[in-house]
Amino acid sequence: MELAHIISVIVIVGLVFTSAFFQLATLVWTALIGIALISFTLLGYLTAPWLIIFWLGYLCAALFANLHQLRRRYLILPALKILQQRMPPISNTEREAIDAGHTWWEKELFCGQPQWKKLFAIPKPTLTAAEQSFVDNQVETLCGMLCDWEITQKNRDLSPEVWEYLKKEKFFGMVIAKEYGGLGFSALAHSTVVVKIATRSISAAVNTMVPNSLGPGELLSHYGTEEQKNYYLPRLAAGQEIPCFALTAPDAGSDAGSIPDTGIICQGEYNGKEVIGIRLNWDKRYITLAPIATVLGLAIQLYDPEHLVGEEEEIGITLCLIPTTHPGVEIGNRHYPLQLAFMNGPTRGKDVFIPLDWIIGGPKMAGQGWRMLMECLSIGRSISLPALATACSKMTYRYTGAYARLRRQFNTPIASFEGIEEALGYIAGGTYMVEATRMMTAGAVDLHIKPAIASAIAKYHLTEISRSVVAHAMDIHAGHMIQLGPRNFLANVHFATPISITVEGANILTRNLIIFGQGAIRCHPYLLKEVELITSPHTKIEDLDRVLMSHVGFFISNLLRNLAYGLTGGRFIFASVRNRRIKKYQRQLTRMSAALALIADASLMILGGSLKRRERISARLGDMLSQLYLASAVLKYYHDHQEPESDVDYVCWSLQQCLYKIQIASNDVLDNFPQRFVGKLLSWIIFPFGQAYRAPQDQLHKNIVVPMLSSSDLRDRLTKYCYVSKHEKELSYRLDKALEQVANVEPILKKLHKAVQFRAVPSQYRFTERVQSALQSGIITADEARALNEFEVLRSEIIKVNEFSFDLETVIA
């Protein structure tokens, strides 16, 4: 009888758990649990205390779930009245930001049950034959024309020949459709072109990418009238027009919605006729290409005080397109962004009158500017800036790995020292994650998705990872990269990093307000609908009840899922990856997805609208979502490349690093939760045995450095599209050539070093003298002596730095 009692308890608890875990329909779980309880009661298997506990719990839950009218009348309706008083309505600006773009894989991660097969079923992003040919030919030719030292330090501009080549080969028309004379390239091609150019010159890459991201070309393609498209797009594609887009003002940077620049609809004269138009006043700054632009995209607040075009007086943010030759337009002055030479400067205008049809999309698009900007902003965030970050990481990986193998201290390659090895490991792992995320995010855009949240994640984290990668490289190169000159490939990359971090939404803003702030309301399966129903004056109580009950089921399901995952360590979660080492990490990502869903729901329920102002909590929840996205990108990259064995250590390092950062973020959220008891309870549910994840171990860190230090398929794949010069005097050429030789030279160097140790060769000799002495003593052969001397000449050139005349005007060496 006691055994029957134990089995009965287990069965009922199991049914309750299963019903919640899988979110069974109300009637289904009511019937299943009810039948079980009735059966065990009649059979007498349950003792009185258990009968009372189970029946009370069951009846309360069943009555609450099934008596819809009573629940709506006595619970939902009073709650609605309270919530309507406390919750502010969604503003038009917030609504447009929410509606702009799409949710994608990040929604799967936010909801706690990511369907990995769905991610892996997405086709691998690839270049077309035409795009690949452009990268291999036109982009390769362009890179060969660039000298970043001359661009940034001498000319402070691209050469006239480079500008002409960019126009001739339609670099400014990559995203413009072929029907308008553009190249019609994919987002991946756009990204790849920027990557390759940026590994040669950041300044050239920025000048190239801006016309292809947020600007007149992109806006006209999506919203322009046929007349505007037919006139401007072919001219933009051919480089006859140089575009810029002016959004940022002195008092409206990250808060672009508070644009102070105005347009007043009024009567005015245009082409000798009296017409209805707009009188503009603006003062913009930080506008890339503004100093040389021929056509100016302009964001202003539009007003109609005389009601010349409609009943509304405050029409809203509007985007206009203005030839820079138009009377009153001021351009030409330049900013000097961290000594880089891409064109950037202010533009101003006072009482500039334009006709209404200069609004992008025509008069009907007046007031639609914020939505247009939000929908197109994801291009800069998901393509251009991640491409720059990836370029910085790729060139750092390729060149710093080679340098660390070739540079010797204490007769040992510096890559052998654990301190250097640690820095190299972060470069290696960071580059793998950056490339994986770039590929997946660009691939999403090519699926005609505008991934608003994913693009914010990519922009923030790729620029931050790149900043870390470049900083580690600076530490490794030390004095070698502190000295400016043509030999220094890293200085301008180091200078450029804060620029990417600042533009298209400063990283602090992106992390604290956008990733989770917009992610929560867009990705949560019920939150947006609940807010809409609560703030609407015409809410049907039945609709709100239905959504709230679904949300309750979702919360309870995630609560029990986290309890089960925590107690079992997630060992029984399904994982689709074949490799056993990686499979365990995939399980943990699903576990942490459920943890994010639970913590986010608890935060939203307890903090409500005040969560907006709790930026630290929002940022840390955003960190959890971001690390899940980065880890997903790594798994997708690994899957798309047929799960190669060479990548396993890189994948394990990346996933372990992401999980470790998720652990830190979740600890920070729960340890600082406003209601300490709730934080402690959630911590126990999710991590019942304490900390679950730690940073990658030293041996794994060591393993991922190895492919950096010699020619390998993985090194070539990770640094694909990193420009390597064919000029024998350039550092990139010398590094690659020396790396090819070092494996053959190192055994000979060891023989020479051993001979010096045993005094067969005098230690006071210089290197060439030691080689000659060893040759004469028969320690090495003539071929070995020749190889050593040739290698030493190459190595010496690699570690040299530039010298200048006293006035710093002339490069001497």
Nearest to 753 by CA among 450, 506, 412: 412
Tokens of 623: 């960190």
CA–CA distance, 180 with 236 (Å, rounded to integer): 9
| Dihedral sign (CA 600, 603, 608, 612) | negative
Cβ neighbourhood burial of 229 (10 Å; 0-12, 13-18, 19+):
middle
The residues pairing with 284 across neighbouring beta strands, listed in sequence order, are: 347
Secondary structure string (H, E, C) spanning 526-550: CHHHHHHHHHCCCCCHHHHHHHHHH
C-alpha separations of 522 from 106, 179, 416 in Å: 10, 35, 48
**Residue 209 and residue 194 in contact, taking contact as beta carbons nearer than 8 Å:** yes
- The closest of 373, 344, 623 to 496, measured between CA atoms, is 344
The amino acid at residue 73 is R
List, in order, residues 6 or more apart from 21 with CB less than 8 Å away: 557, 560, 561, 564
Rounded to the nearest 5 percent, the helix, strand and coil shares of the chain are 65, 10, 25
Enter the tokens of residue 810: 């002339």
Burial 714-726, CB ≥16 within 10 A → b, else e: bbeebbebbbbbe
Helices (H), 730-779: 731-757, 767-776
**CB-facing half-sphere around the CA of 33: CA atoms within 13 A:** 28
- Nearest to residue 317, comparing CAs of 258, 269, 270, 364? 258
**First-last CA distance in the chain:** 94
Tell me the C-alpha to C-alpha distance, in Å, between residue 388 and each of 125, 141, 273, 303, 627.
Answer: 18, 19, 47, 38, 20
Catalytic positions, written as ranges: 504
Treating both helix axes as pointing N-terminal to C-terminal, what angle do 216-223 and 369-379 enclose, rounded to 10 degrees? Answer: 120
Query: What are the backbone angles phi and psi of residue 276, rounded to the nearest 5°?
Result: -85, 130
Structural tokens at position 593: 């997805």
Supply 158's token pair.
Answer: 């691209």
Burial of 84 (0-12, 13-18, 19+ CB in 10 A): middle
CB 26 within 8 A of CB 66: yes
CA-closest candidate to residue 522, choices 208, 123, 90: 90
CA distance 577 to 223: 42
Question: What is the distance, to the nearest Å, from the Cα of residue 260 to the centroid of all Cα atoms in its chain?
Answer: 30
Query: Which residue carries 């480089």 as its tokens?
Result: 239
Amino acid found at 553: G
Residues 793 and 227: their CA atoms lie apart, in Å, by 62
Residues 293, 519: Cα–Cα separation, whole Å: 36
Q: Is 460 left (phi over 0), alpha (psi -120 to 50) or beta?
A: alpha
505 neighbors 457 (Cβ within 8 angstroms): no
